[in-house]
Chain A
């Protein structure tokens, strides 16, 4: 069960990724959906952080934001490993891999309860990956 937000506040999330990807994605959310939506997302980069430091940073970001969810980039990435370790300490924290812009927009603009919002965000993220044009293939 994903933990609910205190006092009926809209759910918040940490976006954890390599290099500047998290900040870039959240910046794009702000451009598209506005600052209020983007403020529900907290960026975390793994740059220069070892496994233990990254876990400390993840824990601080999650608790500081009172986040219900961590969105990460790669399933095999260090951010995902750290997020899953923190989720083990903080039952109810969801971890979603493969973050993309449609996914984060759905979350940041959504008003549903955390569990429903995660489900919606994952659906939107998956739906956002498609081949829009096949292109010309010589084979």
Chain B
């Protein structure tokens, strides 16, 4: 079964991911794509700690994720791929990863960002990343938890989400 969700979330692994998405989708694995986390034993332990034992966590850099994407897409059970920012997800898309949909799960307040939703704030560079992915044919929507109604990219950037 392939990776079911490609999610951008600056909190990376947290409650919404493990419980909110993990339980209803019966996720068997998470692929956390972050160059900094992948390079640090301490960071990997930090994110692995709270994940239930039945859920595997794979840590990848952008480059290694692209190398192993085909293997992840052939895993026997469902998975979720996470990046902490739009740039990493864009790099995966432009690197040839078979990503057709991207879920914006949480990009929170920062000084250079404009509020788009309660849980999505975007800088001009991040908007450009999302538009570039859309230009590759990727369907992009914001949705923090599965029960929420997705806000598609055009509405999100027009500030019509909430």
Contact = CB atoms under 8 A, between A and B. Distances in A.
Interface in A58-90: 73-78, 80-81, 84-85, 88
Given A76-B18, A80-B50, A48 B11 contact: no
A50 interface: yes
A97 B13 CA distance: 16
Interface stretch (B70-78, B107-115, B130-138, B151-159): B107-115
Contacts of B11: 50-51, 54, 78, 81
Nearest to A47: B118
Contacts of A52: 10, 110
A56 to B, nearest CB: 11
Given A18-B15, A51-B11, A81-B14, A75 B50 contact: yes
Nearest to A18: B15
B147 interface: no
Contacts of B87: none
A81 B46 contact: yes
Contacts of A53: 108-110
A36 interface: no
Contact of B109 (A49, A73, A75): A49
B19 interface: yes
B80 to A, nearest CB: 13
Interface centre among B19, B50, B118 (most CB of A within 10 A): B50
Contacts of A97: 50
B49 interface: yes
Nearest to B45: A84
A20 to B, nearest CB: 15
Contacts of B46: 81, 84-85
Interface in B41-67: 42, 46-47, 49-52
Contact of A48 (B19, B50, B52, B108): B108
Contact of B19 (A50, A74, A78, A81): A74
B50 A74 contact: yes
Interface string B9-51: 0111111011100000000000000000000001000110111
B109 A76 contact: no
Interface centre among A18, A48, A50, A84 (most CB of B within 10 A): A50
A18 B17 CA distance: 14
25 contacts: A48-B119, A49-B108, A49-B109, A50-B10, A50-B11, A51-B10, A51-B108, A52-B110, A53-B108, A73-B15, A74-B14, A74-B18, A74-B50, A75-B50, A76-B13, A76-B17, A76-B50, A76-B51, A77-B14, A78-B15, A81-B14, A81-B47, A84-B46, A88-B42, A97-B50
Which 9 residue pairs spanning A and B have beta carbons closest together? A76-B50, A50-B108, A75-B50, A78-B14, A77-B15, A76-B18, A78-B11, A50-B10, A74-B15
